Amino acid sequence: MYVILAWRNIWRNPRRTFVILMAVIIGVWSMIFLGALMRGMEREMLKNAISTLTGSIQIHHRDYLDDPVVNNSLDNIGRLDTALDKILGQDSLWAKRVRVNAVVSNARHSGGVTLVGIEPEKEKAVSFIGKAVTQGRYLVKEDKNKILVGRAFLKKFNTKIGNKLIFMSQGTDNEIASKAFRIVGVFRAESEAVEKRFAFVPLPQAAGMLKMGNSISEISILLPELDISGKKEALVAKKLVAALDDITIDDKTITVETWQDLLPMMKAYLEMSGFFLYIWYFVVFVAMGFGIVNTTLMAIFERMREFGLMKALGMRPVQIIIGVITESFFLLVLGISLGTGFGFLSVAAIARNGIDLSALAAGAEMWGIPRKLYPEIWAQDVVVAGLVVLVLGIFVSLYPAVKAARFTPTQAMTKN
Amino acid sequence: MSVELKMAWRNIWRNSRRTLLTIAAIAFASMLLVFMLSFQLGCYETMINTSVKISTGHLQVQAKGYLEDKKMRLVIKDPDQVASVLETIDGIDSYTFRANGFSLVSSDKRTYGVVVTGIDPEREAAVSTIKSLIRKGRYLNADDTYAVLIGEHLSRNLKVDIDDELTILGQGRDGSIAAAVLTVTGIFDSGLDEFDRNIILMGLAGFQEVFSMGKSVHEAIIMADSLRDVAMVKQEIQNHFSTAGDDTKLAVPDWMEIMPGLLQGIQMDLFSGIMMYIILIVVVAFSIFNTFLMAIFERTREFGVMMAIGTTPSRITKLVMFESICMTLVGILLGILGGSLITLYFQKYGISIAGTEDIFKEYGIPDRLYPRLSLISSTAGPLVVFLITFVSSVFPALKIRKLKPVDAMKTV
Amino acid sequence: MKKVVLIIVILFLPFNLQAQTEAETIVKNAFDYWRGQASVSTAVMTIHRHDWERRMTLKAWTRGESDSLFVIIEPAKDKGNGTLKAGKGMWMYNPKVNRVIKLPPSMMSQGWQGSDFSNNDLAKTDSLIRDYVHTLEEIRQDQGKKLYQIKSLPKPDAPVIWGMIKLTIRGDNILLKEEFFDEDFKSVKVMTAWDIQMTGNKLFPMKWKMQKTDAQDEYTQFVYEEIEFKKSLSNRIFTRTNLKNPGL
């Protein structure tokens, strides 16, 4: 009975109902929308960090990360390949790399740089470099002595496409290896630091220069899905470790790291981010809450006569309270549904093109946030938002409900 | 004019509960904004101070051109003169001198290229956090000539431990060979890979001898009393040296020029913070809009009566606007007051975030975060609340103009 | 039409090739003259900069195109410091720390002892022969002597930083000038040799200077006090042991 009464009561005064609904809708909408923006931002940040060569998972020689010299290389390439094939399945992509610190010089400048030997076709799918070349062209497998450098690097060395760069590093024979490369393409990255730091050449050329034979420095794997909590990646990494244990000759010469291991700051940031979002939800609700209490109170007072009458007819105070709360419940549920609906709609409207952040390009550069932001709704956020509003909404409705229950018939009749 | 104002004020308090709730909403939002903005800015300040304390300092004095290209030859020829200038400037908390040289460092097993930095142990301890980052062994004493501190990473790569010997080989200021055998006295861990792997620290006096520096240095590292004093200190130092004659040719870069990435990171975070604040304000404004709207509906009869006795719709509108302005102002003032008090309380005692204390301590970040109240943080938020609330009260007020007295009075 | 072009090309080809081979011979001869045999010498090197100058006396042993040992004799502070190039590697020794250290790539582009000769310059002296294609540009006459002007361009894959080198070689195989250009063919530094004297049985420039083109007051000067050419030098000289203890 309460249910029917409550429902009918709501619609008796559409204007009143509408006003309260609006407050809830706006509140919930803002929670969903903000949540989507935040999650979208998180994902883009992570994607960006990963595509700057980190990948979902990486495999190295045990000592490579501490000491990235050519002697700490992966040797059993053939068996690694088969193991990866078996475990990773169709949708994962991986690429091999040779990566060393080198000194690069031309006639007037010299400096330190990280030389990365890549498999051009495979690398395209695994990291940013495939799409980052803005001048000249990308590398192809057959390239002999071609190199890609960053735009900031080009400026620093005062050189241009077609010019030479001489690289020097230490080979596996402990002799100085040097080689000339010609700039064939220039890439842009999210930060100037990345542009200055990496130079890309075809893997065989780098391996040849360093006398590495068939050894490589690292394998970078991109899983089809990016899990912000890092759990999926950790699972796959575990499987890989088990499989690789079988094929290593010495005990544990290979390590497998997920992006969480490689980017601990990012991991910490993402964990905190979710936490703060929910605190914010609470704050938004409180802001909303005042309005809800106020408008509900006003509604109650408007209906003073009605409540007084009900009491006169024998309704107990508790029943009035339940009635009012039920009305609030409906309003909240309705508002939450509509608010969530609008949330979805507004996110969908933006999701197609993303939000363009180029105005803040300078600031965005540091943290690797790309120029476009794609909002993303998490089921978990929707549920939390809805629950917060519903539970707290009912809680704050208690005050007006109690007030309503206290109206005496005399007060009601002498109103006005 | 004042009649409307008086009436507005009295009208508000006719329905005190509703008014109080509305004021509470505005006060809450304002208070929150004041606190959050102060907290955010305070966090930035902490971040900046922590970052600069690791090595760059708030600002530095160097030879012109050293920032772009660290050539051995670009020195501060007379550090004593610089010191005497720095002593006279208020706002400087502490300073120290350093010299740097790129060298090869070899242990028995390996050789690496590193930057050797000569530090003044006593002064350095007051300026940077390096002393607290020593994990093994001990810090440098004033009389240590050939003792060296190395990062944990590097100690592993070189396969050395406390009391092992390292050879450094580099180029002195005059191009001559700089070579020395140093004893590892302490191992530090700053949490920053770049730092741990590439920099080793020895006594300044020893460095000057090995690298043929005479009494010159490369950098004067300065910590100001607070972040806000940096600009002023920088200006004063520059004034001093511009009058001292062109011969000195010194530059005074501040932390923003030395570490541009830090500033950009902060700007980015501020942006996302502002996004959240705006959404909050929209929600609050809407709440208030609701309240005003309902209030107007409720008072239809009252307005009808007023119009019937001759009040023009526009006067009523003005009256209603005054009512909302009054409430808003009271709310904002309360919010600023409350927010400021809470902020000041935490500014004194700090806030610690559960779970982060250990990590922070390890890396020299203070475990308590302090909000910082400033003119901006205490007024920016409330001001926007005021504007948006004002705007959102216009619509309901305009509805009044459409009222017809007779119909209005018939409303119950 | 094609036939005509073909004939013309064939006619001109030998000239070009000839010019090239001739140039190569000239360069090789000059190089051999300069470095071909072994030599033992004492020289004073002066490094001059805008606001200071540094002087040191060193003893040098060279053999063929690739082996060399330089040891500082004066000033006393730097005495015993040496650099050895043998085979592909380069080593440094410092008596104070009593260590021989192999030069890693990061040090190669730095100036040797702070001079305008880079470690690489010293390490790759034979690069001129190996990595470049030489063309004779011009033959001049000066004070009764022939002067060959040669343009050297790096071979396509050669790991050299220069875009071009220009050589001025005298008829009697003495290298007078070597100018280094970047890839845009702008001059970066110039090495000149003069004060040709008879030493033992050979004419040889006793004064050499490496000068930065863009900074007139930045140069390094090499003045031989004495130099003796030999047919060969013992292998023992170009070893790390000898680097530590060259028996001065």
Please name the amino acid found at residue A218: E
- Are the CB atoms for B291 and A299 separated by under 8 Å? no
Q: Which residues face C111 on adjacent strands?
A: C118
Among C54, C97, C115, beta carbon nearest to B179: C97
If you measure CA to CA, which chain C residue comes closest to A146? C157
In contact, B275 and A375? CB cutoff 8 Å: no
In one letter, which amino acid is C155? K
Q: How confident is the model at residue C220 (pLDDT cuts 50, 70, 90)?
A: very high
Q: Which residue in the set B286, B295, B359 is minimally distant from A26, CB to CB?
A: B286
Q: Mean pLDDT over all residues of chain C?
A: 84
Look at A147-156, A160-169, B344-353 and tell me which has the smallest mean pLDDT. B344-353
pTM of the prediction?
Answer: 0.78
Residue in the block written with tokens 């490689």: A262
| CA A117 to mean position of chain CA atoms | 29
- Measured between alpha carbons, how far apart are the two ends of chain B, in Å? 30
CB contact under 8 Å between B21 and A293, yes or no, is yes
Does the pLDDT at position B346 exceed 80? yes
The confidence score (pLDDT) of residue C71 equals: 92
Distance CA B395, CA B305 (A): 21
Residue ranges of domains in chain C, CATH in brackets: 15-244 (2.50.20.10)
pLDDT band for position B396 (cuts 50, 70, 90):
confident
Chain A contact present for C188, CB below 8 A: yes
d(CA B311, CA C72): 106
pLDDT at A366: 42
Distance CA B200, CA B117 (A): 6
Q: How confident is the model at residue B350 (pLDDT cuts 50, 70, 90)?
A: confident
Predicted pLDDT at C6: 58
Q: Average the pLDDT over each of A353-362, C100-109, C234-243 and give the range with the smallest value.
A: A353-362
What's the burial of A347, exposed, middle or buried (CB within 10 Å: 0-12/13-18/19+)? buried
Quote the DSSP letter at residue A224.
S
Cβ contacts of B136 within 8 Å, gap of 6 or more: B161, B162, B186, B187
Residue of C158, C161, C181 lying closest to A105 (CB–CB): C161
Q: Which residues of B touch A280 (CB under 8 A)?
A: 276, 280
- Range with the poorest average pLDDT among A101-105, A130-134, A139-143, A367-371: A367-371
DSSP calls for C107-171: HHTSBGGGSSSBHHHHHTTTHHHHSEEEEEEEEEEETTEEEEEEEEEE-TT-----SEEEEEEET
Calculate what percentage of chain C has a pLDDT beyond 70: 91
Among A290, A301, A397, most B C-beta atoms within 10 A, so best to mutate, is A290
Return the pLDDT at C192. 93
Q: Which residues of A61-87 are buried (b: 16+ CB within 10 A; e: fewer)?
A: bebbbebbbbebbbbbeeebeebbeee
DSSP assignment letter at A108:
S
List, for residues B47-88, the tens digit of each pLDDT value. 788 888 888 889 999 988 888 777 888 888 888 888 988 888
Nearest 5°: CA angle at A24, between A18 and A30?
Answer: 130
Q: Are the beta carbons of B201 and B99 closer than 8 angstroms? A: no
Q: Under a CB-based contact definition with an 8 Å cutoff, are residues C168 and C147 in contact?
A: yes
pLDDT at A363: 47
| Mean predicted confidence (pLDDT) in C215-243 | 88
Q: For testing the chain A interface, which of C101, C153, C161 should be mutated: the one with the most A CBs within 10 Å?
A: C161
What pairing do the DSSP bridges indicate for beta strands A110-118 and A198-202?
parallel
Inform me whether the pLDDT recorded for C3 exceeds 70.
no
Comparing C-alpha atoms, which of A400, A404, C53 is closest to residue B18?
A400
Burial grade of B76 (CB within 10 A; 0-12, 13-18, 19 or more): buried
Give the dihedral sign, CA C229/C233/C239/C244: negative
- Judged by DSSP in three states, C216 sits in coil
- Cα-Cα-Cα-Cα dihedral sign, residues C224, C226, C231, C235: negative
Q: Which residue has the tokens 């110039």?
A: C190
Instruction: Give the mean model confidence (pLDDT) for residues B227-241.
Output: 87
Greater model confidence, C1 or B257: B257
pLDDT at C163 over 50: yes
User: With an 8 Å Cβ cutoff, are A107 and C161 in contact?
Assistant: yes
- B375-379, C112-116, C195-199: which has the highest mean pLDDT? C195-199
pLDDT at B285: 80
CA-CA distances (angstroms) from residue C99 to B147, C81, C103, C212? 18, 10, 12, 33
Asked whether residue C125 carries a pLDDT value surpassing 80, the answer given is: no
- pLDDT reported for residue B208: 92
Q: Is B65 on the interface with C (CB under 8 A)?
A: no
Q: What is the token pair recorded at B272?
A: 């996302």
Q: Is the pLDDT of residue B307 over 70?
A: yes
Residues A361-374, mean pLDDT to the nearest whole number:
54
**Nearest residue to B179 (alpha-carbon basis) of B112, B74, B109, B104:** B104
Select from A91, A80, A99 the least CA-distant residue to A56: A91
- Residues A136/A117, Cβ–Cβ less than 8 Å: no
Whose tokens are 């894959």? That residue is C157
Interval A259-291: pLDDT, tens = 888 887 778 777 777 777 888 888 888 888 887
- Reported as a single tens digit per residue, the pLDDT across A22-71 is 888 888 998 888 888 888 888 888 888 888 888 888 888 888 887 788 88
Among partner residues B106, B168, B175, which is closest to C54 by beta-carbon distance?
A: B175
Whole-number Å distance between alpha carbons of B249 and B74: 10
> Is B267 in Cβ contact with A362 (below 8 Å)?
yes
**What pLDDT sits at residue A364?**
47
CB contact under 8 A, B104 and C107: yes
Q: Name the average pLDDT for chain B.
A: 83
With pLDDT > 90 as the criterion, what percentage of chain B qualifies? 15
Q: For chain C, give the number of residues.
A: 248
B24 in A contact zone (CB under 8 Å): yes
Smallest Cα distance from C97 to chain B, Å: 6
Best mutation site among A197, A281, A366 for testing chain B: the one with the most B CBs within 10 Å?
Answer: A366
Give residues with Cβ within 8 angstroms of A90, minimum separation 6.
none
Do residue C159 and residue A166 have CB atoms under 8 angstroms apart? yes
> Whole-angstrom Cα distance, residue B121 to residue B144?
9
Mean pLDDT along residues C51-58? 87
Q: How many whole angstroms from its chain centre is CA A385?
A: 19
Q: What are phi and psi of A169, to 5 degrees?
A: -155, 180
The pLDDT, as a whole number, for residue C190 is 93
CB A117 within 8 A of CB A205: yes
pLDDT at C106 exceeding the cut of 90: no
**Location of structure tokens 């209030």:** B295
Distances A217 to A128, A167, A193, B142, C172 between C-alpha atoms, Å: 19, 18, 22, 44, 53
Give the chains touching C; criterion: ≥3 Cβ pairs < 8 Å: A, B
